[in-house]
Amino acid sequence: MNKLFGTGLVATALSLPTLAAAQDAVSLDQRVNDIFAGSTGWFVNLIFMNLPGTNFPWIVLWLVVAASIFTIYFGFIQLRAFGHAISLVRGDYSDPNDAGEVSHFQALTTALSGTVGLGNIAGVAVAVGIGGPGATFWMILAGLLGMASKFTECTLGVKYRNEYADGSVSGGPMYYMTKGFKERGIPGGAFLAVVFAIFTIGGALGGGNMFQANQAHAQITQITGDFSGLITGVIFAAVVFMVIVGGIKSIAQVTEKVVPFMGILYVLAALVILIVNADQIGWAFGQIFAGAFTGLGVAGGFVGALIQGFKRAAFSNEAGVGSAAIAHSAVRTKEPVTEGVVSLLEPFIDTVVICTMTALVITISGTLVMDPATGNFILNEAGTSIQTVDGVSGVALTSAAFATGFSWFPYVLALAVILFAFSTMISWSYYGLKAWTYLFGEGKTKELIFKLIFCFFIIVGAAANLGAVIDFSDAMIFAMAVVNITALYFLMPIVKREMNSYFARLKSGEIVKHGH
């Protein structure tokens, strides 16, 4: 709003009724925010509460411990099956006659489009800004561990999915909670499924929708100046609706083009900067390793770097949240393990590759410097501490880092943010939809109602600044992880049985390549 009324010329050009209406909108926005914060603050605080005596959120520990347990239980599946995952994505083992709606590659890009986003751009800047370059080491480690969580949930997603006569499928944690628990004779599966579905709808409408529209609009206004959030929202809503009205096949056809394009665009720009500064790459990795274990100049030292790295990885790749299992369930396969194997590539691409690229560019660019007086990292062009940086400042830091290589890069970054936001919205529309149909039943009319609600919230997200709503929906996404990982612990033995059977048959030659 300061931009809008910053000059006397603009203010006098606005009629008094328009000015009053704008101020009313702001006050209404604030009132809604305050009411919502008052009623939901307890839930947000509960999910993101720090462990006693630390600034380490318990939910991050919950995700990292689960990922570590799955890594050991499945014998470091992320390392053993990495090569096979690439073969599956290439289509070497794909049978077009298998049940399902999308290919392995399309399922991977759909799930990736839900996780590759602002966390990779803004979130990494926050982690490196607060935790120093050493946070990158812990981010990579958490990303590698998270690959085992994805393997577990996505194998179950395919195994227990519903396949319908028209060829469509519905899958995800809701289905493996009910069917898997019943198969093992464990009570409570249906209850967990309903709770998970409620959290998924909340997460889809907020973090997967309103936040994305809000941040994309913020990036657009940075380049264009004043621009109506309502117009941004309506345009986004119209484009998203055109894609999601066609279902998962339509979503997959878009994501298989958008995700590789935006990922390659971003990584190429990062590579050019790294090549130009090739002599500093060794130094940057030295900073990452030294900072990981000593935490030089970091608030909280070594623990500060570890916390920021683990937090960023958990918030970025969503391993253990259960969302990806919904997208991967739509794959064409009769072997559940194949999609578990494909899905382990997701945290690798999201966290190990893209997040690391961002961290390296920020470290090498010199955009971050240490304040000798405080020992904290500061933004050198503004001289302001980023100890309390928010998402927008995170984008600004990454933009400044890339601009050291190309003065025009902020425009590329703006395009990346818009594409990331768009792809995240269409993926989360599918996650929300499957939770909605689980609760209210399948059917074209019921699906259309959810899609219209989803698109309405895009407009609200772009036009309003409802911070408390975004906080609440973020909390709902991580509440999904509480329910999902609880279920995964009970269902691990089923995944192990499936895994051992599949790899034995692969080794014996019973499972053969189908070719492209």
Architecture of the domain delimited by 35-505: Up-down Bundle (1.20)
Question: Strand 169-170 vs strand 377-379: parallel, antiparallel, or unpaired?
Answer: unpaired
Q: Is the dihedral of CA 154, 472, 419, 458 positive or negative?
A: positive
94 to 234, 308, 339: CA distances (angstroms): 39, 39, 11
Beta strands in 332-478 (DSSP E): 368-370, 377-379, 384-385
Of the listed ranges 11-15, 82-86, 123-127, the least confidently predicted one is 11-15
pLDDT band at 33 (very low <50, low <70, confident <90, very high): low
What is the structure's pLDDT at 192?
95
Checking if the pLDDT of 8 tops 60, the result is no
What is the structure's pLDDT at 255?
77
410 to 324, 396, 417, 487: CA distances (angstroms): 30, 9, 10, 43
**Encoded tokens for 377:** 């990292």
**Encoded tokens for 198:** 């409620």
pLDDT tens per residue across span 117-163: 666 776 777 777 777 788 888 888 888 999 999 999 999 999 999 88
Q: What is the three-class DSSP state of 318?
A: coil
Give percent of the chain above pLDDT 70.
Answer: 82
What is the structure's pLDDT at 389?
36
Q: What does residue 309 show for φ and ψ, rounded to 5 degrees?
A: -65, -45
First to last CA, the chain: 54
How many other CB atoms are found less than 10 A from the CB of residue 10?
12
The highest-confidence range among 143-147, 193-197, 232-236, 381-385, by mean pLDDT, is: 193-197
Q: What is the three-class DSSP state of 514?
A: coil
Q: What does residue 99 show for φ and ψ, rounded to 5 degrees?
A: -70, 150
Is residue 120 within 8 Å of 355, Cβ to Cβ? yes
Of the listed ranges 7-21, 186-200, 281-295, 303-317, the least confidently predicted one is 7-21
**What average pLDDT does the segment 219-223 reach?**
76
Q: Comparing 342 with 287, which gets the higher pLDDT? A: 342
**What average pLDDT does the segment 402-423 reach?**
78
pLDDT band at 422 (very low <50, low <70, confident <90, very high): confident
pLDDT tens per residue across span 233-287: 899 899 889 888 877 777 778 877 877 787 788 888 888 888 888 888 888 888 8
What is the structure's pLDDT at 32?
64
CA distance 164 to 166: 6
**What average pLDDT does the segment 170-175 reach?**
91
Percentages helix, strand, coil for the chain, rounded to the nearest 5? Answer: 75, 5, 20
Cα 4 off chain centre by? 32
Checking if the pLDDT of 17 tops 60, the result is no
Is residue 11 within 8 Å of 5, Cβ to Cβ? yes
Domain edges within the chain: 35-505
pLDDT band at 341 (very low <50, low <70, confident <90, very high): very high
Q: Which residue has the tokens 């066609």?
A: 246
CA distance 479 to 487: 13
Compute the C-alpha angle 316/317/323, nearest 5°. 115
**Encoded tokens for 132:** 């120093």
CA distance 181 to 71: 22
Checking if the pLDDT of 366 tops 60, the result is yes
What is the structure's pLDDT at 379?
41
pLDDT band at 24 (very low <50, low <70, confident <90, very high): low
**Encoded tokens for 370:** 């240490």
How many other CB atoms are found less than 10 A from the CB of residue 50?
14
Is residue 479 within 8 Å of 47, Cβ to Cβ? yes
**What average pLDDT does the segment 83-100 reach?**
80
Give percent of the chain above pLDDT 90.
Answer: 21
Is residue 378 within 8 Å of 386, Cβ to Cβ? yes
Q: Which residue has the tokens 């939809």?
A: 433
Question: Strand 368-370 vs strand 169-170: parallel, antiparallel, or unpaired?
Answer: unpaired
Following CA atoms 268, 273, 274, 280 in sequence, which dihedral angle do they give, to the nearest 10 degrees?
Answer: -170
**Encoded tokens for 221:** 């206004």
Q: Is the dihedral of CA 165, 255, 244, 442 positive or negative?
A: positive
352 to 141, 280, 355, 359: CA distances (angstroms): 8, 20, 6, 11
**Encoded tokens for 219:** 């990036």
pLDDT band at 71 (very low <50, low <70, confident <90, very high): very high
In terms of Cβ atoms closer than 10 Å to its own Cβ (0-12, 13-18, 19+), residue 253 is: middle
Count helices and strands (H / E) in the chain: 24, 5
Q: What is the DSSP letter of 39?
A: H
The highest-confidence range among 28-37, 58-67, 247-256, 412-421, by mean pLDDT, is: 58-67
What is the structure's pLDDT at 450?
93
| Per-residue b or e along 162-173, where b marks 16 or more CB atoms closer than 10 Å to that residue's CB | beeeeebbbbbb
Q: What is the mean pLDDT of the chain?
A: 79
Is residue 434 within 8 Å of 161, Cβ to Cβ? no
Q: What is the DSSP letter of 379?
A: E
pTM for this entry: 0.82
What is the structure's pLDDT at 485?
95
Checking if the pLDDT of 391 tops 50, the result is no
Q: What does residue 102 show for φ and ψ, rounded to 5 degrees?
A: -135, 160
CA distance 314 to 312: 5
Radius of gyration of the chain (CA): 23
**Encoded tokens for 422:** 């768009």
Is residue 227 within 8 Å of 5, Cβ to Cβ? no
What is the structure's pLDDT at 258?
78
**What average pLDDT does the segment 474-497 reach?**
92
The highest-confidence range among 106-115, 220-229, 259-268, 434-443, by mean pLDDT, is: 434-443
